Amino acid sequence: MLNHVIALAYLAASVLFIIGLKKLGHPDSARRGNILAAVGMALAVLATFVAPSTHNHVWILLAIAVGAVIGTVSAKKVKMTAMPQMVSFFNGMGGACAAVISIVEFMAYAHTINAPDTTVALVASTLTAPGAADYPFLNGHVLVILLGLIIGSVSFSGSIIAMGKLQGFVTEKAVRWPMQRATNAVLLLGLLAIAALVLIACSCAVPYGLFMALFALSLLYGVLFVLPIGGADMPVVVSLLNSFTGVAAACGGFLYDNPVMLTGGILVGSAGTILTILMCRAMNRSLANVLLGNFSGGSGGGSAHSGDTTVREVSPTDAAILMSYAKKVVIVPGYGLAVAQAQHICRELDEQLEAKGVVVKYGIHPVAGRMPGHMNVLLAEADVPYPKLLEMDEINPEFPSVDVVLVIGANDVVNPAARTDTASPIYGMPILDVDKAHNIIILKRSMRAGYAGIENELFYHPKTRMLFGDAKDSLEKLLAEVKSM
């Protein structure tokens, strides 16, 4: 009876994981999704805990208490800005957990090989094939143990290095050494070779040494895998290691014939891989480019400044989410707004955002457009309330507290070169300090230079996202997305 209930609990947990993950992909349901997944996890843990085959309850409870207290306290205390390294740390713990499980199970299995009669209880969980006396280690059970060990260890040490790079106790620079790719490839092949040697070990001697070497080299590989990647790319690496840990957890599913470990692990393995690719795409790069280092040298060192020429595009959906969940949005109109005759749709977007509780203001540069007052006239025509239009001197001190700046077809009036680059033809011109805001979304038809014919480094700023297209089209798309939210 109890076993049937446990099986059902595992099923419910698996379903909750899937629904939770699905809901995590939408801003409105994300929080509920996280809670659903947590409920699923609680179910799975509880079911395992009350299973008839589980003993040592006191010790298990104690271990859970220790982990829960440390986990909660550190997760609550960490600063918002230090979240990625925290995720990396927790991910590493999961990897380490999988590796430790593999070590225990290998030793237990080796024990049954040495003394076949004594530990009959273990055979229940071992999936040995019959008649494999010549190669007692050549079976799925050992293979899964080895996979769990390798993947879990790589994920653990890699995550710790990634965390170090984000936190600053490991250099955030991309560490390269001669023949770096070759050494890593050789190490990986070596890992596989040792694993193969363990599998074909004879019954005369348990390959403890090889197993431990496999453990050590896996840890080393995790370190060498992450070191050559720059600090700025760590979120992608953490996401990839996250999916590794998922696969390591799934190995446990095979090991114990446990469906919830398998579904949970594989779900994260595949979803994590897709997510990793999505993250790379959002940075306009490929996964191979991130992992192997880029050849252009553009942002190789991680935190490149003036040499950084990556333009980051944003989808209307993402831009709409950024604005809908902001506290304060400042719209900076320019000539592009006038050309596209987009002032009415701009006001509609403004109204939609205000309806969601977002404060919307306009930052008007004195020479925005082609004549002084051009923007005021245009926006007044669209019935934008006059008090919302702020002059440059009024709006500039506000930018540091602005969540999103939406630049609509303006260019020179937001070019930071006017402040910093003495060689620039517009040096000394007062500008709107939009680069001080938290996020900058720029609607623009193309990467062409503005009226003054000069490059604008704001477009390459890490905080900047470009939405290319006619101002009216883009605003209409944004409006539709904001409405549907």
Partner 1 sequence: MDSLLVFISDNMQMVYILILSIFVGIEVISKVPAVLHTPLMSGANAIHGVVIVGAIIVMGHAAADDFFALALGFVAVVLGTLNVVGGFVVTDRMLEMFKKRK
- For residue 162, which amino acid is it? A
Residues 422 to 441: which contact partner 1 by CB under 8 A? none
Report if residue 158 touches partner 1, rule: CB under 8 A: no
Spatial distance between the Cα atoms of 182 and 187, rounded to a whole number of angstroms: 8
Report if residue 207 touches partner 1, rule: CB under 8 A: no
Residues 27 to 56: which contact partner 1 by CB under 8 A? 27-28, 30-31, 33-35, 37-38, 41, 44-45, 48-49, 51, 53-56
Residue 13 or 418: the one with the smaller Cβ distance to partner 1 is: 13
Number of residues that bind partner 1 (CB under 8 A): 124
Do the beta carbons of residue 354 and residue 360 sit within 8 Å? yes
Residues 242 to 301: which contact partner 1 by CB under 8 A? 242-243, 245-246, 248-250, 252-275, 278-279, 282
Report if residue 87 touches partner 1, rule: CB under 8 A: yes
Residue 30 or 186: the one with the smaller Cβ distance to partner 1 is: 30
Q: Which of 153, 157, 218, 239 binds partner 1 (CB under 8 A)?
A: 239
Exactly one of 117, 233, 257, 412 is catalytic; which is it?
Answer: 412
Q: Which of 2, 5, 25, 370 binds partner 1 (CB under 8 A)?
A: 25
Shortest distance, CB of residue 12 to partner 1, whole angstroms?
13
Residue 392 or 480: the one with the smaller Cβ distance to partner 1 is: 480
Report if residue 468 touches partner 1, rule: CB under 8 A: no
Choices 125-133, 291-299, 376-384, 430-438; region in contact with partner 1 by CB under 8 A: 125-133
Q: Is 412 a catalytic residue?
A: yes
Residue 272 or 450: the one with the smaller Cβ distance to partner 1 is: 272
Choices 99-107, 166-174, 293-301, 469-477; region in contact with partner 1 by CB under 8 A: 99-107
Do the beta carbons of residue 456 and residue 411 sit within 8 Å? yes
Report if residue 325 touches partner 1, rule: CB under 8 A: yes
Report if residue 332 touches partner 1, rule: CB under 8 A: no
Report the catalytic residues.
412
